[in-house]
Amino acid sequence: MQFGIFDHVDDSGLSLPDHYAARLQMVQAFEEAGFSRYHVAEHHGTPLGHAPSPGVYLSAIAQRTSTIRFGPLVYLLPLYHPLRLIEEVGMLDAMSGGRLELGYGRGISPVEMGFYGVDMGEQQDLSAESFEVLIKGLTSERLDHKGRFFTFDDVPMTVRPQQRPHPPLWYGTNSAGSVERCAKDRLNMVTLLAGEPMRAMVQGYRQAYEADGGDPADMPLVGAGRHIVVADSDEEALAIARPAFARWRASFVYLWEARGGNNPFVAKFPKDWDAVEAAGSACAGSPEKVRDFLLKDAEFGGYNYCLAQMAFGDMSVEQVRRSAQLFGSEVMPAFS
């Protein structure tokens, strides 16, 4: 089992400069606690995500850390010119000493895509071609491509990634229809689902991977995202988690409610912390409670990567640091 962090960099109530300063301290705490990776979401026009330019934010992470790997989960491909993204990936990988983890996707919010004028009828095709160009550029000394959306003729690739052939690839999904492709393409995959739907996705990945000739010993990371808060007692952890989750959830539904969107995942999402815990997607408590929760969850689901969301809402730096310390010292060892 490996452990990573997922972060929306959602609104905390702090001024924007203070918000970023606090997040950088939190990422340092995650590294000190022993988390292997830090993944950041990309969102636009919403308090859910204050890292709308992941590359800018992650370049600061690269300079404040030395061992933790990091990356976007995900770059929203329809919003990027692929040549610009190739160069950004190369820069981040070089600046971090080869620590970049490259998550990509097409974007699930038509509201956010609409802000940029993306034609949702072309979103999937645009994303697919952008990814094709991205991989060509990262793995070639010169880029040639002729497609529906982009044409490149012998463009020198002068900013190449340190990791060859390219940084590890990640895909986030709650759709069972994506699982087989993720397995065949050897992508690291994460889902926010819990219970039987989560288990079905993990098992589906394993089956598709092995059916395609994959060696179980070399299987990519397949993970589940969970809101996690650890404190010295159950009561203290719940006192932190409940109001912080309420603020995070308000950011989570902000655009859907403001623009009248109808996203089934959002519509069914638990209304408060106690409900999200009951659904199996979160745990707040002492190290013992969190450890028992994750041991059971991982055994049931069969995943090999736990993606903990430990900084959300108005949690303070000290609360997050203590949560990370306890998780690293008293929860992680149970999975060694």
pLDDT, tens digit only, all 336 positions of the chain:
999 999 999 999 999 999 999 999 999 999 999 999 999 999 999 999 999 999 999 999 999 999 999 999 999 999 999 999 999 999 999 999 999 999 999 998 889 999 999 999 999 999 999 999 999 999 999 999 999 999 999 999 999 999 999 999 999 999 999 999 999 999 999 999 999 999 999 999 999 999 999 999 999 999 999 999 999 999 999 999 999 999 999 999 999 888 866 777 777 889 999 999 999 999 999 999 999 999 999 999 999 999 999 999 999 999 999 999 999 999 999 998
Q: Which residues contact 115 (CB under 8 A, 6 or more apart)?
A: 44, 45
From the list 59, 159, 140, 56, the residue with the least C-alpha distance to 99 is 59
Alpha-carbon distance 304 to 295, whole Å?
11
Given this model, what pLDDT does residue 268 score?
82
The two structure tokens encoding residue 288 = 């013992």
Alpha-carbon distance 294 to 307, whole Å?
11
Alpha-carbon distance 331 to 3, whole Å?
10
Alpha-carbon distance 190 to 195, whole Å?
14
CB 143 within 8 A of CB 159: no
* Whole-model pTM over 0.85: yes
Helices (H) and strands (E) in the chain, counts: 12, 12
Given this model, what pLDDT does residue 336 score?
84
CB 40 within 8 A of CB 73: yes
Q: Which residues contact 49 (CB under 8 A, 6 or more apart)?
A: 8, 9, 10, 41, 42, 43
From the list 194, 191, 276, 261, the residue with the least C-alpha distance to 229 is 276
Alpha-carbon distance 282 to 307, whole Å?
11
Q: Provide the terminal-to-terminal Cα distance of the chain, rounded to the nearest Å.
A: 7
Task: Residue 135: count other Cβ atoms within 10 Å of its Cβ.
Answer: 17
Given this model, what pLDDT does residue 261 score?
66
Considering only CA atoms, give the Rg of the chain: 19
CB 241 within 8 A of CB 209: no
Residue appearing with tokens 């219970």: 195
320, amino acid identity: V
Given this model, what pLDDT does residue 68 score?
98
**321 alpha carbon, distance to own chain's centre:** 20
Instruction: Report which secondary-structure segment, H or E, holds 115.
Output: helix 110-115
Strand 188-191 with 151-156, pairing: unpaired
Alpha-carbon distance 175 to 36, whole Å?
26
Given this model, what pLDDT does residue 53 score?
98
The two structure tokens encoding residue 309 = 């969301």
For 278, counting Cβ atoms within 10 Å of its Cβ (0-12 exposed, 13-18 middle, 19+ buried), the class is exposed
